Every structure is written in structure tokens, then in C-alpha cells.
Amino acid sequence: MTEPDLIASLEEQEQRLLFSRFDNDDAWTLGALIVSMARERQLPVTVDIRRHGHQLFHAALPGTAPDNDSWIERKVRVVNRYNAASYLVGRRLAAEGRVLDHDAGVAPAEVAAHGGAFPIRIRDVGVVGTVTVSGLPQADDHALVVEAIARFLAG
């Protein structure tokens, strides 16, 4: 897939994967779904779900490390700053030959425009939180989150 096609696909995901609401019980249900999917596939991931900065769900599966939590923090900051998935932000920057650095007004050690953090966007409201996975290659982190959100919304 070409970079422009990938970016278009990521943008389509964000337009399609909209919530009508999102509360603490939704965070638990979605988080448990991601953990179940990861366990079924024996994936070493950490899962984090937040609403308005409040951590509502967190799980670290076997094979993860404290570094995964650091990656989550850095990815979440990207979503919070740009109101877009961390993977989408990273791909857009790469397409322009740019990175998140001091020229972009951020400290590189504080942010990671890598796949895995996806915005919780409520229809007619906007971004209210994040669903984040860390532990796999960035495209796989992103894909796991997107698949889980799609299942959650379809259920």
C-alpha cells in the first residue's frame, strides 16, 4: 500500500469508528475485549483506555515491560495534541519528510507518532479519550485497536 493510500485508509477509520457515548463501563468492556483478543493470539501487549485524562482501564499481559507504559504515555500525548490516531499523525509527518521534534514545538522524548493510540471520538462531540496498545510493531498495535473498536461498535 502506498503512503497516500495508507493515510486515506487511516483517515477513513477515524471517520467510521465513532462512538455515540463512552463511559466507564464501555472502557471496561472494550478493554476486556482487547485483552481477550490479545490472549487468544498470545500477544505481549499493554492496553490503556482513558477518558479526559482519567485512566479507566489498564492491563499488562505477559511479555510486556514498564517501557510499554512509557510508549503509551508518549502515544497518548500525540492523540491529545493532534486529535488523530498516533499512527495517522506519524504517517502524515513521514509523507512530508517531517518528524515530531523541537521544530514542531514538542520534546521528542515526550511524544511518539507511532501506531497504537486511537482517539475515542463521540459523534457530534469530538475526541474525549484514547484507546492505546503497546508491545507490537506500530502497524500491528494500531490494527489491534481498530479491530477491537470495530467489534465493540458492532456489538
Residue 12: burial class (beta carbons within 10 Å; 0-12, 13-18, 19+):
exposed
CA separation for the pair 69, 110 (Å, rounded):
12
92-102 burial, b for 16+ CB within 10 Å, e for fewer? bbeeeeeebee
Does 1 have pLDDT greater than 90?
Answer: no
| Residue range of the domain that includes 135 | 3-154
Average pLDDT, the chain: 97
What are 102-139's pLDDT values in tens digits? 888 899 899 999 999 999 999 999 999 999 999 999 99
Confidence of residue 56 (pLDDT cuts 50, 70, 90): very high
What are the CA-CA distances from residue 105 to residues 14, 77, 81, 122 (Å)? 25, 13, 11, 28
Beta bridge partners of residue 143, listed in sequence order: none
Does 147 have pLDDT greater than 90?
Answer: yes
Confidence of residue 50 (pLDDT cuts 50, 70, 90): very high
Domain harbouring 124, CATH code: 3.30.450.150
What is the total count of domains within the chain? 1
- pTM score above 0.95: yes
Does 101 have pLDDT greater than 90?
Answer: no
Confidence of residue 77 (pLDDT cuts 50, 70, 90): very high
